[in-house]
Amino acid sequence: MARLNVAPTKSNLLSIKEQLSVAEDGYELLEQKREILVMELMHMVDKVKILERDIDKAVSTAYPALRHMLMAIGRDEADRAGKNVHYDYILKEKSVVAAGMNFGTLEFQPPVKKLNYSFLNSFAECDKVMIEFLELLKLLTSLASIRTIVWRLAREVKKTQRRVNALDKQVIPTTKETKAYIESVLEERERENVFVLKSLKSRNGGSSLI
């Protein structure tokens, strides 16, 4: 296995031990972050599925309402009513926190529901269509915002996973191998020193007997 190209000294051993501790702590933290991100991502995916079902329901009522209006009043009258009736809605930017990250999203605020046909020479069918499509617009805005969050969370999960893999498969094994190498060299030197000291002691002891 590969190891770092460092001299086998005690100071380098201390440095390698510190690096290994930091790498292992970093691995644990990143693994926890990855798990939190995945859990939040799954939660957001569930929200997307719910919104998609709600949108399908909204579409299934909005477009039939539009067809019914066109059949009831005709295209020309519908076009005239569309030009005369106005609903003031608001698209508001807001910040959402997910998995400890801030995301910018859009919030759709529909106008207060009101009937316009009585005093604008419109028709009840027109108001129903406007209400249905405003609700659909609200759902589509929410879906777009959450899908953006899902995309960013997925990208963050991928980036975090790469860092986890790098620590687990490369940095930590390499640092451990370097640590083991330095320790073995230092132990071998220690044994050699002990052997030399014993030899010198034995020689000194032998000379004193002569």
Query: For the chain, how big is the Rg over CA atoms in Å?
Result: 36
Cα separation, 147 vs 21, whole angstroms:
38
Digit-coded pLDDT (tens) for 18-77 = 999 999 999 999 999 999 999 999 999 999 999 999 999 999 999 998 898 888 888 887
pLDDT tens track for 151-189: 999 999 999 999 999 999 999 999 999 999 999 999 888
CA gap 11, 6 in Å, rounded:
11
Q: Which residues, listed in sequence order, are joined to residue 109 by a DSSP beta bridge? A: 90
pLDDT in tens, 8-31: 899 999 999 999 999 999 999 999
> Helices 124-166 & 10-73, crossing angle to 10 degrees?
160
pLDDT band, very low/low/confident/very high, at 116 (cuts 50, 70, 90): low
The pair of structure tokens assigned to 124 is 């009840």
Model-level pTM? 0.74
Q: How far apart are CA 95 and CA 110, in angstroms?
A: 19
